[in-house]
């Protein structure tokens, strides 16, 4: 059975005191994570050591970075390398979030290089894909997402692909309060799985977790997660409120 995952993406929010308090409040709750369920906290870089320390000894709680460099090491001022993140207790890296693609011009080819850096350091990619509104209005969202997968992921070996978590985040649903309908989410998730099956076969396609992201909140999580191809969520705004995120975790299928 594939993993069901609630992933918090804190983005560029909170100071250390606020971040520590939020994590403490969430981890104090009786989360009752059954086997096969995971919670991931994608925290800003400066809070990684704090978050890693707080999650020590907690079952099925993992820390993610929100990005990592496509370069190995060296004279790249301001960048953070995969080996550094591995050394401070990170297990997952969010790769290709639409905000990175849009504001920092990350291309599909560059994301493929970041993914390769992750695999050199035993870090699992949490790979984001998803179309802008204009593409959906043209009815071309499947082609758009298929291309993102093909150009960033499909050079991986089957063994590597099994380690990847995919998040489908339609850009028009991020931070807008406008969630994809459960039917829209299920349709795209099934399509993504079909693309995986064509490239890697049934077994691998069935084993990759595909999360939905875009205005997930306590009130809609259960319905979204109940869809057969939706294996949890990547949550922005609602992950900054302990009670909201705890309910989202408890909504995992």
Tokens of 205: 């396609």
Shortest spacing between CB 226 and ligand 13P, in angstroms: 18
Smallest separation (angstroms) from ligand 13P to the CB of 37: 19
The distance of closest approach from Cβ of residue 95 to ligand 13P in the complex, given in angstroms and rounded to an integer, is 12
d(CA 103, CA 183): 29
38 is catalytic: no
Q: Does 234 bind ligand 13P (CB under 6 A)?
A: yes
| 175 sits near ligand 13P (criterion: CB under 6 A) | yes
Output phi, psi for 115, to 5 deg.
-60, -40
Give the residue with the Cβ less far from ligand 13P, 33 or 180: 180
Is 189 a residue of the active site?
no
Q: Is 55 an interacting residue with respect to ligand 13P (CB under 6 A)?
A: no
DSSP, res 180: P
> Which helix (DSSP H) or strand (DSSP E) does residue 7 occupy?
strand 4-9
Query: Of the two residues 200 and 245, which places its CB atom closer to ligand 13P in the complex?
Result: 245
Q: Exposed/middle/buried for 30, CB within 10 Å: 0-12, 13-18, 19+?
A: exposed
Binding mask 13-42 for ligand 13P (x = CB under 6 A): ------------------------------
- As beta bridge partners, residue 168 has 129, 212
End-to-end CA distance of the chain: 12
- 67 near ligand 13P, rule: CB under 6 A: no
**Residue in 213, 218, 230, 248 binding ligand 13P, rule: CB under 6 A:** 213
Interface with ligand 13P (CB under 6 A), residue total 14
Residue from the set 125, 170, 214, 232 that interacts with ligand 13P by CB under 6 A: 214
The Cα 194–Cα 177 span in angstroms is 28
Q: Out of 36, 52, 237, 253, name the contact with ligand 13P by CB under 6 A.
A: 237
Our finding on whether 215 is near ligand 13P (CB under 6 A) is yes
Is 194 within 8 Å of 205 (Cβ atoms)? yes
Smallest gap, in angstroms, from Cβ of residue 35 to ligand 13P? Answer: 25
The 10 Å CB-count burial string (b at 16+, else e) for 194-209 is ebbeebbeeebbeebb
- Which residue is associated with the tokens 């925290």? 43
3-state secondary structure of 136: helix
CB of 9 to ligand 13P, least distance (A): 4
Query: Of the listed 131, 169, 189, 244, which one is catalytic?
Result: 169
- The DSSP secondary-structure symbol of 51 reads H
As annotated, the active-site residues are 97, 169
Task: Provide the binding-site residues for ligand 13P, judged by CB under 6 A.
Answer: 9, 97, 169, 174-175, 213-216, 234-238
């Amino acid at each position: 059975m594939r993993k069901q995952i609630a992933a918090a993406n804190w983005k560029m929010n909170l100071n250390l005191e606020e971040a520590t308090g939020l994590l403490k409040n969430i981890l104090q709750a009786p989360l009752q994570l059954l086997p096969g369920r995971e919670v991931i906290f994608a925290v800003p870089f400066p809070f990684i050591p704090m978050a890693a320390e707080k999650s020590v000894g907690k079952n099925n709680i993992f820390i993610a970075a929100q990005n990592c460099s496509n370069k190995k090491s060296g004279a790249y001022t301001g960048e953070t390398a995969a080996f550094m993140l591995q050394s401070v207790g990170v297990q997952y890296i969010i790769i290709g979030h639409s905000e990175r693609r849009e504001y920092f011009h990350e291309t599909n080819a560059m994301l493929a290089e970041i993914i390769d850096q992750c695999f050199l350091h035993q870090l699992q990619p949490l790979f984001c894909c998803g179309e802008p509104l204009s593409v959906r209005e043209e009815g071309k969202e499947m082609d758009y997402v298929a291309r993102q997968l093909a150009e960033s992921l499909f050079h991986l070996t089957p063994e590597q692909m099994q380690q990847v978590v995919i998040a489908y985040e339609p850009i028009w649903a991020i931070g807008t309060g406008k969630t994809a309908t459960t039917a829209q989410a299920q349709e795209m998730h099934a399509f993504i799985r079909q693309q995986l099956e064509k490239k890697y076969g049934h077994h691998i396609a069935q084993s990759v977790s595909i999360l939905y992201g875009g205005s997930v909140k306590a009130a809609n999580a259960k319905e979204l997660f109940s869809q057969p191809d939706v294996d949890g969520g990547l949550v922005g705004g609602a992950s900054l409120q302990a009670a909201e995120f705890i309910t989202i975790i408890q909504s995992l299928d």
